[in-house]
Amino acid sequence: MIKGLAITTVWVLDQDRAKEFYTQKLGLEVRTDMTMGDGGMRWLTVGAPDQPDVELTLMVPGPPAMDPESAEMMKKLVAKGALGAGVLATDDIHGDYKRLKDRGVEFLQEPQERPYGTEALFRDDSGNWFSFTQRREGGLDFEKEWS
Amino acid sequence: MRQLRLAKDLMDRDWADPALDLEAVADRAGYSRYHFLRAFKEAYGETPRQYLTHRRIERAEDLLRTADLSVTEICHLVGFSSVGTFSARFKARTGLTPSEYRAKHVGRGAALIPGCYAMLWAGGFRRSEQSNSGEAG
């Protein structure tokens, strides 16, 4: 029986900078930051204080998971802004939008009303885009235009 | 690359602004104009101007399909200042004039695609020539 999502990967260009961004700017907490073995892979995960059972692992593309050529392609995709990394939930989209913006987070779209809630879009410092959404109570609004 | 991305995001955000000046975009990206054009095209497959036109035309397609507005209104809404230029660019990209396009698609609403995907992917990156019906804005 699958119990849910525990960890998912966000590909970043630099773990130190990503750690700072995800904690200082987004307000997530560091769950684990350790290096496996001598000179091995750095396992860095962050999560939302209100959601202790879900983590993002912030990984730099490269060995052992990826050959150099793939890693290079992945870094390029991240940097050019092609990849979305997920939807982050909030219960105060307008307040959080202002707070994050004031901390220098790059927003692609200010909060807008959608059938599924109120949604803004931002990028992390590597180039991954996130939807930042306050879900609509009661589910989808089928009366609302999608554009 | 980050600077190029910022420049592209600026166009994605402010595509409707007729005053959006590509010189300023290049400046902001910290490139000389010539080098910016080349670097942008290498990353995104189109020059900045082509990219911006592309975004505007796609948005116009949405409006023609779904909005009760005149061609002239839509032309200005998506950031073109001249209807002649708009129609020519529109036809170059879709093969139809705005009016023909509207007649062909009349009564068909936008497909249900979340705004984030539509905004980012309705022309965010170059694709093979394919139908754009099925994308909201």
- Domain CATH number, residue B77: 1.10.10.60
pLDDT of residue B107: 56
Percent of chain B with pLDDT over 90: 32
Q: Which residue has the tokens 């119990």?
A: A3
Residue B60 lies in a domain: yes
pLDDT of residue B93: 93
Give A59's strand partners.
Answer: A11
Fill in the DSSP letter of residue A22: I
Structure token digits, residue A52: 């202790």
pLDDT value at B111 more than 70 = no
Residue B137 lies in a domain: no
pLDDT of residue A5: 97
What confidence tier does B117 reach under pLDDT thresholds 50, 70, 90? low
Contact A80 B12 (CB under 8 A): no
Domain count for chain B, please give it. Answer: 1
Structure token digits, residue B29: 């990206």
Alpha helices (H) along chain A: 15-20, 68-80, 93-102
Residue B107 lies in a domain: yes
* Length of chain A in terms of residues written: 147
What confidence tier does B116 reach under pLDDT thresholds 50, 70, 90? low
CB proximity list for B7: less than 8 A, separation 6 or greater? B25, B26, B28, B29, B36, B40, B48
pLDDT of residue B2: 86
Set of chain B residues whose Cβ sits within 8 Å of the Cβ of A79: 1-2, 5
Contact B116 A79 (CB under 8 A): no
Q: Which of B2, B110, B120 sits opposite A147 (nearest CB)?
A: B110
Q: Which of A79, A114, A121 sits opposite B5 (nearest CB)?
A: A79
Omega before residue B18 within 30° of 0, cis: no
pLDDT value at B113 more than 50 = no
Structure token digits, residue A120: 């803004």
pLDDT of residue B15: 84
Q: How far, in Å, CA of A44 to CA of A31, rounded?
A: 8
Instruction: Name the pTM for this structure.
Output: 0.78
Q: How far, in Å, CA of A24 to CA of A11, rounded?
A: 18
Residue B43 lies in a domain: yes
pLDDT of residue B135: 36
Range B50-77 average pLDDT = 88
pLDDT value at B127 more than 60 = no
Instruction: Give the rounded distance of the alpha carbon of A91 from its chain centre.
Output: 17
What confidence tier does B121 reach under pLDDT thresholds 50, 70, 90? very low
E strand or H helix at B102: helix B98-105
* Length of chain B in terms of residues written: 137
Q: How far, in Å, CA of A66 to CA of A136, rounded?
A: 39
Set of chain B residues whose Cβ sits within 8 Å of the Cβ of A127: 1-2, 5
E strand or H helix at A8: strand A7-11
pLDDT of residue B129: 36
pLDDT value at B132 more than 70 = no
Amino acid making up residue B81? S
Set of chain B residues whose Cβ sits within 8 Å of the Cβ of A123: 5, 9
What confidence tier does B108 reach under pLDDT thresholds 50, 70, 90? low
Q: Which of B5, B110, B124 sits opposite A127 (nearest CB)?
A: B5
pLDDT digits (tens, 9 = 90+) for B69-91: 889 988 988 999 899 999 999 99
Structure token digits, residue A42: 């750095």
Q: Is A122 on the interface with B (CB under 8 A)?
A: no
Dihedral of CA atoms A23, A9, A70, A25 in degrees, nearest 10, equals -20
Set of chain A residues whose Cβ sits within 8 Å of the Cβ of B45: none
Domain limits for position B42: 2-132
pLDDT value at B136 more than 50 = no
Report yes or no: A109 and A123 within 8 Å, Cβ to Cβ. no
pLDDT of residue B114: 52
What confidence tier does B104 reach under pLDDT thresholds 50, 70, 90? confident
pLDDT digits (tens, 9 = 90+) for A69-93: 999 999 999 999 999 999 999 999 9
Nearest Cα of chain A lies from the Cα of B34 at a distance, in angstroms, of 19
What confidence tier does B99 reach under pLDDT thresholds 50, 70, 90? very high
Q: For chain A, which ranges sit under pLDDT 50?
A: none
pLDDT of residue B10: 86
Residue B24 lies in a domain: yes
Q: Tell me the residues of B at the A interface, defined by beta carbons under 8 Å apart.
A: 1-2, 4-6, 8-9, 12-13, 43-44, 62, 66, 110-116, 118-120, 124-125, 136-137
Residue B36 lies in a domain: yes
pLDDT value at B67 more than 80 = no
**How distant, in Å, are the alpha carbons of A66, A78, B101 from that of A75?**
11, 5, 39
Give A33's strand partners.
Answer: A44
Residue B47 lies in a domain: yes
Residue B6 lies in a domain: yes
